[in-house]
Amino acid sequence: MDRRVVITGIGGLCGLGTNHASIWDAMREGRSAIGPIANSELHELKGMIGAEIKTLPEHGLNSKQSNSMDRFSLLAVIAAREAARHAELSIDEGNTYRIGATVGVGVCGWEAVEANYRALLLDGARRAAILTAPKVMPSAAAAHVSMSLGLRGPVFGVTSACASANHAIASAVDQIRPGRADVMLAGGSDAPLVWGVLKSWEALRILAPDTCRPFSADRRGVVLGEGAAIAVLESYQHAARRGAPILAEIAGAGHSADAFDIVAPSVEGPVAAMRACLLDAELNAEDVDYVNAHGTGTRANDQIETEAIKRVFRHHAHSMSVSSTKSVHGHCLGASSALEMIACVMALREGVVPPTANHREPDPACDLDFTPNVPRERKVHVALSNAFAMGGTNAVVAFKRV
């Protein structure tokens, strides 16, 4: 059996834009979406910053459909519909049971949670809104994608904090490789720009007060963002039979757990995940041209990721391009590595490495080529996407040029 899995369509939206093309344009230019948060009907968020979607695009859903979704599910559906159009994917009774979806989320339905707390505790409501339970369940995004597009194959949610989307993509590959499905829509979605989530991250003392500066010596922490991105994954044979546009190949994936600390990262976990990914993809370290780093902008995470990359790639580490696009779209938690999938696919296709924006001062502990501020023209044959999550759950995906 041919184990090759390819990407035939991508879709997304975040603070950078409301489709994959506008997202990539902003990534490539290093144009940041980080700024003051304005879009809150529940709480005053004055003084807080994030990478916010200012206006949602037209999505074609009726009010009954959209009212049954929390924001993270709606973002996933919008991204999935774009990806299906981009892949020229037709879904009917003849193939619906061979097409599925898996969507990663980190914090899921906090918009509905806060609305109900407000109604019950402040406004005197006697009952929660009737659809609260299905709105907040972590699998809601995958369920709504399946209902919106009519997918009756394997459908499930994945949650592993900031590694959720990479885990979802790898899980989708694991449905296609043994033949459980021909096509899977996979990615991630999150909408954490709500008061409770922002205050909980603030309590960790890792939120930056100004912007996100990964790997820069003067970095001051994380900036949260919202968004979603979905890829259409197919077996190579299925894509070829239907004449689908093939954007890239998913060469392999690797996972590990730090088994160390709920918030503090380790070097060994990321090293193990990257090595497992190269082994699964049957790649040598020297085959990799670009690493889209986890790159959150905290002092510990950036130094540890730098050290992990050097341990895995050894002398080749200084020959690769590395960058963190979180510098422009923020840390979108469960959606981050899905948005970074767009960066990897487009870097392969256009031969351009998106920069690490906002980089001002070299850090001796972060001494790789982090592509500071300016995009780099470079032939990219293989790109790795790193996702190293709170709780020590790590997922790395390798993308290959076709």
Helix (H) or strand (E) holding 127: none
With beta carbons less than 8 A apart as the criterion, state whether 139 and 158 touch.
no
Asked if residues 89 and 182 have their Cβ atoms less than 8 Å apart, the reply is no
* Amino acid symbol at 118: R
DSSP 198: H
Cα separation of 266 and 97, whole Å? Answer: 41
The token duo for 105 is: 């989320």
- Residue in 108, 162, 277, 366 annotated catalytic: 162
Contacts of 43 (CB under 8 A, 6+ apart): 114, 194, 195
The torsion defined by the Cα of 239, 83, 338 and 72, in degrees rounded to 10, comes to -140
- The angle, 0 to 180 degrees and rounded to 10, between the axes of the packed helices 110-117 and 195-203 is 100
Verify whether residue 331 is a known catalytic residue.
yes
* Residue 394, number of CB atoms within 10 A of its CB: 32
Instruction: Give the residue among 138, 75, 112 at the shortest CA–CA distance from 196.
Output: 112
For residues 325 and 340, the answer to whether their CB atoms sit within 8 Å is yes
Compute the 3-state secondary structure of the chain and give helix, strand, coil in percent, each to the nearest 5.
35, 20, 40
Cα–Cα distance measured from residue 304 to residue 266, given in angstroms and rounded to the nearest whole number: 7
Catalytic residue among 294, 329, 344, 359: 294
Helical ranges in 32-131 per DSSP H: 63-67, 71-86, 110-117
Q: Is 43 in the active site?
A: no
Q: Which of 331, 332, 344, 366 is catalytic?
A: 331
Spatial separation of the C-alpha atoms in residues 284 and 89, rounded to whole Å: 34
What b/e sequence results for 127-166 when a residue is b if at least 16 CB atoms lie within 10 Å of its CB, and e otherwise?
A: eeeeebebbbbbbbbbbbbbebbebebbbbbbbbbbbbbb
Give one DSSP letter per residue of 98-119, joined into a string.
GEEEEEE-SS--HHHHHHHHII
Can 366 be counted among the known catalytic residues?
Answer: no
Q: Which residues are catalytic?
A: 162, 294, 331
